[in-house]
Structure formats: structure tokens, C-alpha cells
Amino acid sequence: MADVEAYIKDLKETITQRDPNQPEFQEAAFTVLDSLKPVLKKHPEYIKANILGSLVEPERAIQFRVPWQDDEGNFHVNRGFRVQFNSAIGPYKGGLRLHPSVNLSIIKFLGFEQILKNSLTGLLIGGGKGGSDFDPKGKSDSEIMRFCQSFMTELQKHIGPDLDVPAGDIGVGGREIGYLYGQYKRLNGSQNGILTGKGLEYGGSLARTEATGFGLIYYLNALIKGQGDQLKNKTIKVSGAGNVAIYAIQKAQENGAKVVTVSDSNGYIYDENGIDVDVVKQIKEVERGRIKEYADKVKTATYSEGSVWDLDIKYDIALPCATQNEIDEDQAKLIAKDGAKYLAEGANMPSTTEAIAVYKENGIVYGPAKAANAGGVAVSALEMSQNSERLAWTFDDVDSQLKDIMENIYEKSAAADKEYDLGQDYQAGANIAGFEKVAKAMLAQGLV
Ligand code: NDP
């Protein structure tokens, strides 16, 4: 084991020296590196070929200027990114995020996570991610359109249907994908399904909108069943009020659970009678409003400023569906104190490393993001398949494939947990299960 320890230590030092200002990327990479130690012990050939050295370095990181004009005629310049991390098992695949916090560290952490997540789906997709520090909040449709057109004017030089197929993420939904797709087509003249998450009228897949939230609940169901328990009648705390949160709430309630919170970056709604998901959809998808408006529409609900993870109530399951590092160590302690037995991550890396340690110390059964939220990218890959064969599958067909994929992800993670005797560590289990396929593909192709 000594060689393995020294190898991982060396890699961490290289990452820290190369990219000292990338804390999110370091956090994501270090967690994966640590959890792969048992695999390296069993497979010294991965150390010999320095597979992990390649895995933590993107094949390509593209950064570009995005100039755009607002409705008053003022010019702005944002920064765009596309990180093409790993193509060992297929074309780069991963979303585009529009949020003021976006920087290279965040895009690299997301792209890195995407490699193993995409591998876990069992589909042939590599890992990538992109976005911009543009803030879509408060912008008019015309401003969003002009920004997306400018962004795609550069991005289109670097993507292709067999090369790199982006999708949505925070701040990028159906409207933005439409504008991006239109601009790609204008510049390239081809209808090749270059983005996923498209509208149903022009090549989108049924169930893509619901996929991440539904997939989270399919995974959660499998995780809970694995403990001999059931989702029915459980009380759930959800954070976020976006695409992932909305469809997680809907599917959890269809399964007989009660979701009592929903939130945004300003505050949260609490209703002990359960959240009415149709009201959330009306506010977020139709009116594009703020979540506090929920309390004006539903009299039993209360709105409070701050983080939903500081709300002290009894509940069974935590589903963070907002953003990275939204749960810190103290908030994790509150989750344990409040009696939550399960936590599955809809958002990417919503728990800090310290928070995850608290889950493990307190026996909270933990479903990590790269397993629990893989449903979105899985259905994106199914959208690519439909585009290639010029067919559109039914909602039920896509949804049942999604369910199978999510149950399989749990099974693979649980099998790795068992094989390496990890003690119910589904995070390490997911990392190992995702990694082994990528590592074999990298070795086979001489990509070392
Ligand atoms: P949306 O933009 O639809 O929603 C994001 C939600 O999170 C909003 O309610 C937003 O509130 C809230 N939020 C954002 N930043 C913060 C913050 N700093 N503090 C508290 N709340 C915040 O995004 P999605 O639902 O698509 O994505 C949510 C998470 O799920 C992200 O981590 C994303 O990477 C991940 N994910 C998404 C997939 C997808 O298919 N959409 C697939 C896999 C993962 P506000 O409006 O105030 O910003």
C-alpha cells in the first residue's frame, strides 16, 4: 500500500502546485483519488501507466471572450469556458452553466466529476463541462438570446456530434438551449443534434426535462430498498427550486413521500403539509419568479431568508438540489441531529468534504452526486441516440430506460462497495465502478 499512498500524495502535490487557485477542482479530484486507493492496490498497472495523472488533467481547456449588448445598448464582456476532460469512452458530454460564480476551477470540478458519472450510466459518453460567468437573472429574453448567440459563435468551433455535445445546467434550460442551437445551425447549416435538452419540436427527448429529478428518486428508491426500507411515508427536505428540485419533488410525492421544503439562493419555504409542486412550477417555469412568492400563494407555507440547511425540523431524507458546497460541517451535524437517515445529492458536490465525514460518522446512508444525479446526462445520451436514428421514443420508453440505468448505478456502486469491502461507502463504490471502465479504455487506447 505504501507505493499507492506515495503515488496519490505526489499527484495531489502536482495538482496543488499546478492549480493553486482551484479549490473546487482540488476538492473533487482529491476525493476521487483517495477513494481509488483500493483499486490501485489491486491493479498496479494503473500506477505504472500513470492513468490517474492523465485522468486529473483535462485533454483540453478552452477559454474565450463573450461580448454582448444589453437592451439599453451597453456592451458587456463575459468569459466563456469549455473543458473537454476525457474522451476515453465517448464524445465529451456535460452541461453549460451560466452563473456569476463560474470560473475555471468550477468548470474543471464539474467536468472531472462528469467523467466517472458518465461512465456509471453504462452509455458511451466522455466527460466535459462548460459555461460562463454571465448572470441570467433579471435579463430580458432578447439579452439572453444575444448572449447565447455570442457564446455559441465561439463554442461552435470546438464541438461536434461525435466530438462534444453540451447540454444545460444551472441557468441553462430550454430557452437557452434553443437560442444556442439556433445559432449553431445558422453558422454550420447542419441539423446534427449538437446539443441535448432541445425542445421537443426540434429533436429533444421526452423525459429529458424530468430526467435528473426523476432519476434521483429512482436511485434513492434503490438505495433505501438496499437497506430493507421504503420511500413511502418518508418526510423529505429538498433544497433548490430549479429543474432538478422540481422533478425530484414531483417523483418523491408520486412515491408517497412528503417533501416539506423548497429553496433558492435567498431563502426557503417550509410547509409541514407538503410542497405543492404545481405552484413551484408556476413560479419558476412560467413566471420566472422567486421562491418567496410561494408563501403568497399557499397560506400554510412560511418563507424565511437564509439556508434551508439551518432549519431545525425532524425529517428522514435530505435531497440537496441547489449548488456546490451548500452543506457545511455544522449543517451536516444538524442533518444528523434532525434524524435524517438518507442523503442523496441532486446537485453536483453540494456537500463539503467535512460534511460528508459527518454523514459517515453518523451512519447516514449517503448517495453521492455522480451516482444520484446521473439521470440527466443518461437521458441526454438517449437523446443523442434518438437524433442519430432520426426517431423519437415515447415518454414511457425513455423513463423506463432511465429507471433501469439509475437502479444499475446503485447496483454497480453497491457491488464495488462489497468487492473492496468498503463498509457501505457508496461514494467510493461509485468512484471505483465509474473509474474501472474509463481506466481500461484509456489503457487499451494507449491514452497514457
Ligand atoms: P437551476 O438553475 O434550474 O436551479 C438551481 C437552483 O439552485 C435554483 O433554485 C437556485 O436559486 C439554486 N441555487 C443556485 N445557486 C445557489 C446558491 N449559491 N445557494 C443556494 N441556492 C442556489 O439548476 P438545476 O436544477 O439544473 O441544477 C441544480 C444542481 O443540479 C446543480 O448543481 C447542477 O450542476 C446539478 N445538475 C443538474 C442537472 C440537470 O439536468 N439540470 C444534471 C445533473 C446535475 P437561485 O434562483 O436563487 O439562483
- Going from the first residue of the chain to its last (448 residues), give the mean pLDDT of each consecutive group of 10, the final group possibly shorter: 88 97 96 97 94 97 98 98 98 98 98 98 98 97 98 98 96 96 95 94 96 98 98 98 97 98 97 98 95 98 98 98 96 98 96 96 97 97 96 98 98 97 96 97 86
Pick the CATH number of 60-191 from 3.40.50.10860, 3.30.300.30, 3.30.70.141, 1.10.10.10: 3.40.50.10860
**Any ligand 1 atom below 6 A from CB of 168:** yes
Other CB atoms within a 10 A radius of the CB of residue 42 amount to: 12
Cα of 263 vs centre of ligand 1, distance in Å, is 10
**Any ligand 1 atom below 6 A from CB of 346:** yes
Choosing from 264, 345, 402, 405 the residue with most ligand 1 atoms within 8 A of its CB, the one to mutate for a pocket test is 264
**Any ligand 1 atom below 6 A from CB of 246:** no
Amino acid at the residue 431: N
Q: Please tell us whether the domain made up of 211-372 is placed in CATH 3.50.50.60.
A: no
Known catalytic membership, residue 129: yes
Cell of 246: 422540481
Residue nearest to atom 32 of ligand 1 (CA): 347
C-alpha span between 114 and 85 (Å, rounded): 9
Q: Which of 108, 129, 234, 251 is catalytic?
A: 129
Task: Kindly report the pTM of this predicted structure.
Answer: 0.94
Other CB atoms within a 10 A radius of the CB of residue 337 amount to: 11
pLDDT of residue 2: 58
**Any ligand 1 atom below 6 A from CB of 326:** yes
pLDDT of residue 448: 59
Nearest atom of ligand 1 to the alpha carbon of 350: 32
Residue nearest to atom 10 of ligand 1 (CA): 264
Quick check: 317 and 364 in contact, CB under 8 A?
A: no
Strands 92-98 and 261-263: unpaired
Choosing from 129, 139, 217, 244 the residue with most ligand 1 atoms within 8 A of its CB, the one to mutate for a pocket test is 244
Cα of 136 vs centre of ligand 1, distance in Å, is 13
**Any ligand 1 atom below 6 A from CB of 240:** yes
Choosing from 98, 205, 243 the residue with most ligand 1 atoms within 8 A of its CB, the one to mutate for a pocket test is 243
**Any ligand 1 atom below 6 A from CB of 212:** yes
- Asked if 60-191 and 211-372 have one fold, the answer is yes
Nearest atom of ligand 1 to the alpha carbon of 323: 32
pLDDT of residue 107: 98
Residue 447 makes CB contacts below 8 A (sequence gap 6+) with 54, 88, 441
Residue-wise DSSP of 218-245: HHHHHHHHHTT--STT-EEEEE--SHHH
Quote the radius of gyration of the chain (alpha carbons, Å).
Answer: 21
**Any ligand 1 atom below 6 A from CB of 171:** yes
Choosing from 96, 98, 169 the residue with most ligand 1 atoms within 8 A of its CB, the one to mutate for a pocket test is 169
C-alpha span between 167 and 65 (Å, rounded): 20
Nearest atom of ligand 1 to the alpha carbon of 246: 25
Nearest atom of ligand 1 to the alpha carbon of 168: 41
pLDDT of residue 190: 86
HEC states along 242-256? CHHHHHHHHHHHHCC
Strand, helix or coil at 322?
A: coil
pLDDT of residue 447: 67
pLDDT of residue 191: 84
Taking each helix axis from N to C terminus, what angle separates 426-444 and 23-35, rounded to the nearest 10 degrees?
90
Residue nearest to atom 7 of ligand 1 (CA): 322
Cα of 431 vs centre of ligand 1, distance in Å, is 23
Amino acid at the residue 170: I
Element (H, E) at 63: strand 60-69
Nearest atom of ligand 1 to the alpha carbon of 348: 32
Domain ranges for the chain, please list them: 2-55, 60-191, 211-372
**Any ligand 1 atom below 6 A from CB of 241:** yes
CA distances from 236 to 144, 260, 312, 340 (A): 34, 6, 13, 9
Strand, helix or coil at 435?
A: helix
